[in-house]
A and B are shown apart, each in its own frame.
Chain A
């Protein structure tokens, strides 16, 4: 699965511009799913029909988009000012590199005279242009972090693990799914980082009976971190709540039972901030019982996010186990 993760994280796809990631995923799953389609906003919706009766329509969502930046102004000397696409922390930017759609690379730095906490308004991208006329980047051009994938053995480091690792897990689930009573609809969503937008429209279209989002979550296991119960290597995190969603208690309990039955380590997640596609799926139409499985991840929204590989493979096992039997929400 590591090769798949590497291919996904090294692909280029800020929110709203996910076409390359989508094409990569489509090529991976086209042969194993019964049907697939791309909707009006660009969500990739793949369906596996049930193998036996007694199930429901289950939507699994992982988002394809990654955070990035967008050029807002090119000054007389050819320096590019930019804004964020999704949650970009200024502290993570200085000295970093970004890549535009055509492959062109720029370096980020900060106004020398600026003081205090860094803000995006003090920063600029230098693509080596001599003047505004010479600058190949136009206002409105998006870019993403440029950073290689690193395999540390038990742990993986890369940009955009949020949420390409979720995409990799969902691809594996779609591939390995053998015996299930459920119609499993894998949705690779767009524009999660800017407000759960792809999940909003795809959930309306799919009309699931039950849904799970697969996304990353912050941990509290680094030096002097904020208190958070989640850590790397302790298994997938089963979400109880975050800022945008309270998991359906029965869905949450069912995930816990599955993990305990299969002997998969797990953690329970209560997150004060942040949210996932699950939040918008839950309130779609007349409401959808929804849960979320999270992959504990360090250094979220930085160019070097870190996950534990065993957490990743255990998440695949957990979701496959969850889908094996009929689910009673009564």
Chain B
């Protein structure tokens, strides 16, 4: 499997929460040769099973989410500009002067802003919110705009994937990086565990896809794969970068949604150290992941999170280190080969 070609394809596909069809289609084709069962559930989660190489195996759910943050068109105004709202956590300040693609037909649009020449000094300091902004697709009336774009259509940033050498850039690495890792794991399997691979929907609006998938699967343990915050920019103060590019996969001890099962965290650390794979512990207390809902389904599922550090997530373009992604795949392969029921002994 060419992981970089897959990441490019996934990154450039639109998949705002609730509208993950294009991403799902790519993944379904990519993993089909490697799995024993494949299905799509009522919410749109893509769920595949790869049978184990041993009898009576652990049932392990490994999950990555397909959806990305983006925009939803609410209506067109009388002049044909599109009024929109945000889907998921987006900083309003990144919106002005960006290119987007709207709807199934990927209609090009731009988010315009009043020229600097015409701004007073107070206006320049005002942050513009979604109510102040419109998407311009070039339509000249409400009727024309609503012929081209339906109410509820999603828009994504129009960002091209590119290889920068040691690093790559593109949109939606949160969590297409995780999706790519999971697809690569399936390609490298099978393992001595029954692997339930879940490509989940609706993570960004409340961890909704993974929870229903986990309920259906009822696994013995779960690992969520993420593209997570790397805040390793220049800073005034000696403080945490959350994670850093180039230092290996990030393991979570605790975030806002989950306290990672200490047994699984210890196991992942031991696995990395034995295999000589660098790793880092993500700054505790930051963000939330699907593991936050997975570990609460039914009678509880011991859960962990393994992530590829990414800069600038939830913006139009993110950046990751190729080696981090390779190391993440290696760590997860080693973990799936090594894990046994003893890991969960109390």
Contacts and interface: CB of A to CB of B under 8 A. Distances in A.
Q: Tell me whether A and B are bound partners.
A: yes
Interface of A: 15-17, 19, 38-43, 70-73, 75-77, 81, 83-85, 138-140, 142, 191, 194, 197-198, 200-202, 204-205
Interface residues of B, number: 24
Interface of B: 238-240, 253-254, 259-260, 262, 265, 281, 283-286, 295-302, 344, 346
B interface: dominant SS: loop
Contact of B295 (A15, A41, A85, A142): A41
Contacts of B265: 140
Contact of B253 (A42, A70, A200): A70
A85 B254 contact: yes
B296 A15 contact: no
A41 B281 contact: no
27 contacts: A15-B259, A16-B262, A39-B299, A40-B301, A41-B300, A70-B254, A72-B284, A75-B238, A81-B239, A81-B240, A83-B283, A83-B284, A83-B285, A85-B259, A139-B240, A139-B281, A139-B283, A140-B253, A140-B254, A140-B265, A142-B254, A198-B300, A200-B296, A201-B297, A201-B298, A204-B298, A204-B300
Contacts of B254: 16, 70, 83, 85, 140, 142
Contacts of B302: 40-41
A54 to B, nearest CB: 28
A191 B259 contact: yes
Nearest to A15: B259
A85 B285 CA distance: 8
Contacts, number: 78
A140 B239 contact: no
B300 A39 contact: yes
A24 to B, nearest CB: 15
A16 B238 CA distance: 29
B284 A140 contact: yes
Given A40-B300, A194-B259, A197-B295, A72 B285 contact: yes
The 8 A-B residue pairs with the shortest CB-CB distance in the complex, in nearest-first order: A83-B285, A16-B259, A140-B253, A201-B300, A73-B240, A41-B300, A40-B300, A205-B299
B267 to A, nearest CB: 14
A260 B346 CA distance: 44
B346 A72 contact: no
A169 B346 CA distance: 26
Contacts of B253: 70, 139-140
Contacts of B297: 201
A142 B254 CA distance: 10
B4 to A, nearest CB: 30
Q: Which of B239, B284, B295 has the most CB of A within 10 A?
A: B284
